A and B are shown apart, each in its own frame.
Chain A
């Protein structure tokens, strides 16, 4: 018993400080200093929320650039990866479907990121190569020239982490929004 009362008082003080005070502090800071990110990086077009900059959404129309495959079909209420071993025949089967959808051939192989599902199934980015691979299809569907689409892609491409990770990636939603703006 001599230990239970201090233990309960310890529960009370740690709960007040580490939960109530700490949460309030970070919440207040985030909502004031970085409200866009704090509320989920939701992008609105004409007052209507069209998606989160950080969360992949499903694109199947040839007019849009497509994101990486998602093991959960882009369900942002139940994110997950495939959790398949890289040796699994199930992965080969899934990849074959993706390859058919893109119409990839040995002469024009798909960049790996367009075939491999991401960890959370919501990766908002594809590689620059993956975006350029889709330029021809998007250009045709929209009646644009391939050069125009490629210029847009280049403009949207960013480096992952500067000198520490120089590879270039493209945010799919931002790129597709830019494509829609271009056409208008």
Chain B
């Protein structure tokens, strides 16, 4: 118990400390403090010049089209290309679509097992490349948003921002983590699977590959797509307690730093501290809940001669320590990472609800860059509600929030539950979903609800029992991921573009200060009420129903 609490403090608290200097550095980087590097980057791609919200968004879309198109082609033709030592064959076209959409959108939902589906070229040149540039796209979008809302006249330049994020933030961190993982025993080879003769004389073929490089950026960029099927529960992807620590720290480091980066670019670090505090409070609540629920033993073994004094062990790895299951489950869904350190399908019912709640809210630090952008939508909502309550024109950082902006905020916020609940209703009522379940009853419903929550939150984790490599699931979740990625990036940029066009007013005594505890409480309440009211009925049908009917 004490050891578990120490681990949580070290991982969450330690990363929070690290995030402060990183955020400071990122703010300097995106404010053009490194002119020599910027000149080099501009020369590399061309397309220089200041951009407004429209041209910035168009550049973002153009690059994301290239990302999707290139990787789609690479995945579809992998069986004809080199670096395929295990002879992986052609994948179905709907799986290729789903996977290209999944990694372009920073989701990394995986309807396949890497070791039996993709060649090394597909994994490195396709998927790992997207793990860098999709993360960089998110960070770039946040930098643009911060510049606009902070009062600068332009949003910056997308092509420059992506290179800053890729080469000056993600790459150096990935090298550090990759080296750490290699030293901890994660494989890094271009050789194919190893064949061994076991002590009892059987033949065992052991998949391996260039895993260390892949896993480092998987964790850092809130990507989450594992090299192997069972992700970071696989002993070659996460061989020890020490590799596990590095992977958990990497999981939340950049999302945390993004808050400080935002605060510094807008010149309001105290405001960032309030936002950070709200996110941290939500995180602590979720951690406490998950750790408590998961300490209940495996119900299915209750009447059997089994010593159960250490909680639910189904789907967990001993070398990662007792707290990793619930801790990782919360961190990976608070951010939009989606890697797993234990099988979520086998979590206790109420523990399984916690990661779902994380994906429904999707801004407890959230995805790199986009988590803070989601939070911006909640901030606008909170400021608006607070303004209405006291009968004062809602303002945020001197910008008047009016009908036009609020319509866009609501559009972006509502799209999230609409995709999740609408999709769940469709798949829970048709053979598309019902024929793919691994568990019956309420838990089966949870499998469907989880899959759509994960797609819409661009998270990528799953209740992996679901047999989701079907054309219906591949196409539907592919579309959900694409809508749920680009709508919540482009719409906030449009909102800020609209605010930039208006004259900024000075903050008066009547303006709600965004730097104090009142605002923090307001923001917290808006998030919880919005999330709880929207998703409570679905939660009651899934995990809560399973808990009250089957847990004793």
Contacts and interface: CB of A to CB of B under 8 A. Distances in A.
B179 A86 contact: no
Contacts of B229: 78-80, 120
Contact of A164 (B210, B212, B321): B321
A141 interface: no
Contacts of B171: 17-18, 22
Given A18-B171, A77-B193, A169-B318, A59 B300 contact: no
Contacts of B233: 81, 118-120
Contacts of B313: 112-113, 115-116
Given A59-B200, A79-B234, A91-B300, A5 B212 contact: no
B301 A17 contact: no
Contacts of A8: 66
B62 A7 contact: yes
Contacts of B320: 160
A169 B46 contact: no
Interface string B196-237: 111110101111101011001100000000001110011110
Contact of B316 (A5, A17, A118): A118
B342 to A, nearest CB: 5
Contact of A77 (B116, B183, B200): B116
A145 interface: no
A4 B210 contact: no
A5 to B, nearest CB: 7
B317 A22 contact: no
A40 B204 CA distance: 13
Contacts of A6: 45-47, 59, 62, 159
Contacts of B55: 3
A37 B233 CA distance: 17
A52 B236 contact: yes
Contacts of A182: none
A85 B184 CA distance: 32
B501 interface: no
A79 B438 contact: no
Interface in B37-75: 44-47, 55, 58-59, 61-63, 65-67, 70
Contact of A58 (B65, B198, B206, B321): B198
Interface stretch (B3-11, B23-31, B388-396, B506-514): B3-11
A4 B109 CA distance: 27
Contact of B199 (A29, A50, A68): A50
Identify which of A64, A92, A115, A177 gathers the most chain B CB atoms within 10 Å of its CB: A115
A50 B198 contact: yes
A31 B115 CA distance: 21
B133 interface: yes
Contacts of B216: 26
A167 B317 CA distance: 13
Contacts of B340: 119
B304 to A, nearest CB: 6
A77 B348 CA distance: 28
A86 B306 contact: no
A48 interface: yes
A123 B318 contact: yes
A40 B206 contact: yes
Interface string A29-66: 11101101111111000001111101111111100100
Interface string A72-97: 00101111111111111101100110
Contact of B188 (A38, A49, A91): A38
A3 B62 contact: yes
Contact of A27 (B175, B213, B343, B348): B213
A166 interface: yes
Interface string B333-362: 000000011110111110000000000000
A117 interface: yes
Contacts of B234: 79, 119-120, 122
A41 B62 CA distance: 43
Given A13-B44, A86-B348, A119 B230 contact: yes
Nearest to A32: B182
Interface stretch (B124-132, B144-152, B483-491): B124-132
B312 interface: yes
- Greatest chain B CB density within 10 A among A39, A99, A116, A167 is at A116
A76 B67 contact: no
Given A50-B198, A59-B200, A86 B310 contact: no
Contacts of A147: none
Interface stretch (B161-169, B267-275, B283-291): B161-169
A127 B318 contact: yes
B297 interface: yes
Contacts of B242: 161
Interface string B163-196: 1001100110011001100111111111101111
A34 B185 contact: yes
A123 B319 contact: yes
Contact of B301 (A34, A61, A92): A92
A119 B461 CA distance: 14
B46 A51 contact: no
A104 B305 contact: yes
Contact of A33 (B183, B309, B319): B183
B464 interface: yes
A110 interface: yes
B307 A109 contact: yes
Contact of B166 (A4, A18, A55, A161): A18
Given A18-B133, A33-B183, A85-B443, A166 B3 contact: yes
A39 B189 contact: yes
B162 A10 contact: yes
Interface in B447-467: 463-465
A82 B166 contact: no
A66 to B, nearest CB: 11
Given A22-B213, A167-B321, 17 more contacts: A9-B46, A15-B125, A18-B217, A22-B171, A23-B213, A27-B190, A30-B188, A37-B187, A54-B185, A68-B318, A78-B115, A83-B343, A83-B346, A84-B439, A104-B305, A161-B321, A167-B322
5 contacts: A3-B61, A14-B129, A26-B213, A38-B182, A81-B464
Closest 4 CB pairs of A and B: A119-B233, A6-B47, A83-B465, A161-B241
Interface of B: 3, 6-7, 10, 44-47, 55, 58-59, 61-63, 65-67, 70, 113, 115-116, 124-125, 128-129, 132-133, 136, 159, 162-163, 166-167, 170-171, 174-175, 178-179, 182-191, 193-200, 202, 204-208, 210, 212-213, 216-217, 228-230, 233-236, 239, 241-242, 245, 297-301, 303-310, 312-323, 340-343, 345-349, 438-439, 443, 463-465, 546, 550-551
